């Protein structure tokens, strides 16, 4: 039996055949099981001898099969390795990675600058209460300047914020009348504007707020000068023009000297030599008071800018809709990861 098994095992060349051999020789219906089953019929003297012999044969066949299995498996592995051999000299495939959206990069650049100046970054809700969007900013219900920002109302008292300025009121309120407060707040805002090359019904703003004792208009001017030079080049000059916002007094608009023509007049600055960048001013005493700050102790400045406008100027982008239509050819031009 042992000889026969050896022959069988030798000729087996795959795992399936080997398994069949195991069943045939060692299985429930195999010859060895038969012998062991018949032990009862043997004499007392024969039993240990035959039993020992049957066990020996079973173990020997088992070992044969195991050795053969190891051999077949090793051969299979070798064949597999051979067929999957990697040519390490082939050139690699380029991995396609995503990159930051241009707007995200510009916002990050502005954030980095202001963090360096000691500001922290705050974020607020896009679905906002009328109170924070208007009333706490010195725009009571019947104020005509509310029309300047045609709004998407959700209920009578809830709307999509029309600017990031409500974060002025929210942040002041959270500080419970104690300065200093120095934040910038980037985020999405919404207005019922008709979309065209320079207007979008949804766009971004970056708000800045600095409130402390002895903050003056000259501090605002200093910070904005640093900002303009950082974003548009060291030669930039700025000028402040009087303007109006209900939540600042005095209010200003900031222009930078044109970076294309250096102030002589070109198509970018429409011949004026100056480009309007943002609105700003000294925080109105009513705003401070309403949010729990004493205007006889604290003063501050605030500003609000549109990062789309900054990106459009800086990179010569002619249509604001490029930021939101996600044309991969547009985005790839600013692929700076």
Pick the closer one to ligand FA5 by CB: 237 or 276.
276
Please state, in angstroms and rounded to a whole number, the distance separating the CA atoms of residues 5 and 57: 10
Phi and psi of 102, rounded to 5°? -55, -40
* 165 in contact with ligand FA5 (CB under 6 A): yes
Identify residues 245-264 at the interface with ligand FA5 (CB under 6 A): 245, 248
Interaction pattern, residues 191-220, with ligand FA5; x per rule: CB under 6 A: x-x-----xx--x-x-x-------------
Are the C-beta atoms of residues 323 and 308 closer than 8 Å to each other? yes
The candidate with the shortest Cα–Cα distance to 206, out of 279, 282, 118, 129, is 279
Kindly list the distances between the CA atom of residue 130 and the CA atoms of 154, 205, 261, 278, in Å, as whole numbers in the listed order: 10, 18, 43, 24
* 183 in contact with ligand FA5 (CB under 6 A): no
Residue with tokens 């004493």: 294
Contacts of 187 (CB under 8 A, 6+ apart): 123, 124, 126, 161, 164, 167, 204, 205, 207
Stretch that binds ligand FA5, among 47-55, 73-81, 100-108, 298-306 (CB under 6 A): 298-306
* 304 in contact with ligand FA5 (CB under 6 A): yes
* 188 in contact with ligand FA5 (CB under 6 A): no
Establish whether 249 is an annotated binding residue. yes
Pick the closer one to ligand FA5 by CB: 43 or 194.
194
The candidate with the shortest Cα–Cα distance to 146, out of 127, 165, 167, is 165
Candidates 288, 302, 311, 312; binder of ligand FA5 (CB under 6 A) is: 302
Identify residues 100-159 at the interface with ligand FA5 (CB under 6 A): none
Task: Count Cβ atoms below 10 Å from residue 93 Cβ, excluding itself.
Answer: 6
* 232 in contact with ligand FA5 (CB under 6 A): no
- In whole angstroms, the minimum distance from the beta carbon of 252 to ligand FA5 comes to 8
- In whole angstroms, the minimum distance from the beta carbon of 261 to ligand FA5 comes to 21
Residue with tokens 């077949």: 72
* 170 in contact with ligand FA5 (CB under 6 A): no
Pick the closer one to ligand FA5 by CB: 25 or 303.
303
DSSP state letter for 201:
S
Please state, in angstroms and rounded to a whole number, the distance separating the CA atoms of residues 314 and 309: 9
Contacts of 53 (CB under 8 A, 6+ apart): none
What radius of gyration, in Å, describes the C-alpha atoms of the chain?
Answer: 40
The residue number with the shortest CB distance to ligand FA5 is 306
* 279 in contact with ligand FA5 (CB under 6 A): yes
Candidates 227, 259, 303, 323; binder of ligand FA5 (CB under 6 A) is: 303
* 309 in contact with ligand FA5 (CB under 6 A): yes
Phi and psi of 329, rounded to 5°? -65, -35
- Interface with ligand FA5 (CB under 6 A): 163, 165, 191, 193, 199-200, 203, 205, 207, 245, 248, 278-281, 302-304, 306, 308-309, 320
């Amino acid at each position: 039996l042992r000889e026969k098994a050896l022959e069988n095992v030798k000729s087996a060349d795959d795992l399936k055949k080997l398994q069949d051999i195991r069943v045939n020789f060692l299985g429930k219906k195999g010859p060895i099981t038969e012998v062991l089953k018949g032990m009862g019929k043997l004499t007392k003297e024969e039993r240990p001898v035959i039993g020992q012999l049957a066990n020996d044969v079973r173990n020997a066949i088992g070992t044969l099969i195991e050795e053969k299995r190891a051999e077949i498996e090793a051969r299979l592995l070798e064949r597999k390795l051979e067929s999957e051999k990697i040519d390490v000299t082939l050139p690699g495939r380029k991995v396609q990675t995503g990159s930051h959206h241009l707007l995200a990069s510009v916002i990050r650049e502005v954030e980095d600058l202001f963090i360096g100046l000691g500001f922290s970054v705050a974020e607020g809700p896009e679905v906002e209460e009328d109170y924070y969007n208007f009333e706490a900013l010195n725009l009571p219900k019947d104020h005509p300047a509310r029309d300047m920002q045609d709004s998407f109302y959700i209920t009578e008292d809830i709307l999509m914020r029309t600017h990031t300025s409500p974060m002025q009121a929210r942040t002041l309120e959270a500080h419970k009348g104690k300065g200093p407060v120095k934040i910038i707040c980037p985020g999405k805002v919404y207005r019922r504007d008709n979309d065209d090359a320079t207007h979008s019904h949804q766009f971004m703003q970056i708000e800045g707020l600095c409130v402390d004792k002895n903050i003056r208009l000259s501090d605002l001017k200093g910070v904005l000068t640093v900002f303009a030079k950082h974003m548009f080049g060291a030669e930039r000059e700025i000028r402040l023009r009087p303007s109006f916002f209900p939540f600042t007094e005095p209010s200003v608009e900031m222009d930078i000297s044109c970076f294309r023509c250096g102030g002589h007049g070109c198509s970018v600055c429409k011949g004026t030599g100056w480009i309007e960048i943002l609105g700003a001013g000294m925080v109105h005493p009513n705003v401070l008071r309403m949010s729990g700050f004493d205007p006889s102790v604290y003063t501050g400045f605030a500003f609000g800018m549109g990062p789309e406008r900054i990106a459009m100027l800086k990179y010569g982008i002619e249509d604001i809709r490029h930021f939101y239509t996600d044309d991969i050819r547009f985005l790839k031009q600013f692929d700076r990861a």
